[in-house]
Amino acid sequence: MRDNAAITPSAESHIPLYIQLRDQLRSLVHAGDLRPGDRIPASRELAQMLGVHRTTVANAYAELESEGLIQGTSAAARSFATTVMD
């Protein structure tokens, strides 16, 4: 993921943050901004970048993984690396 400028969850929204994050990440995939094989930040890293709790990001990632859009793998540098699926 090149930068997190396109991901802007709002605490003022009535929509839960993890749903906002899930929808925004899904939009990046469908728009081609995230392509198959692209890495997205570990949940802890993205949470820190966005100023949200890590569980918020983990919940969004879990939903995207259940949809088949991302896949978690282990990596030496991080405990959770995620890639966009074809």
Q: pLDDT (tens digit, 0 to 9) for every residue of the chain, 86 residues total?
A: 555 558 899 999 999 999 999 999 999 888 888 888 788 888 899 999 999 999 999 999 999 988 888 887 654 323 334 566 66
- CA dist 16 and 1 (Å) reads 23
Q: What are phi and psi of 33, to 5 degrees?
A: -70, -25
pTM (2 decimals)?
Answer: 0.81
For the chain, list the domains and their CATH numbers: 17-84 (1.10.10.10)
Q: What integer pLDDT is reported at residue 34 of this predicted model?
A: 83
Distance (Å) of CA 58 to CA 27, 32, 53, 62, 82: 18, 22, 9, 6, 11
Q: What integer pLDDT is reported at residue 79 of this predicted model?
A: 33
Residues 6 or more apart whose CB falls under 8 angstroms from that of 75 comprise 81
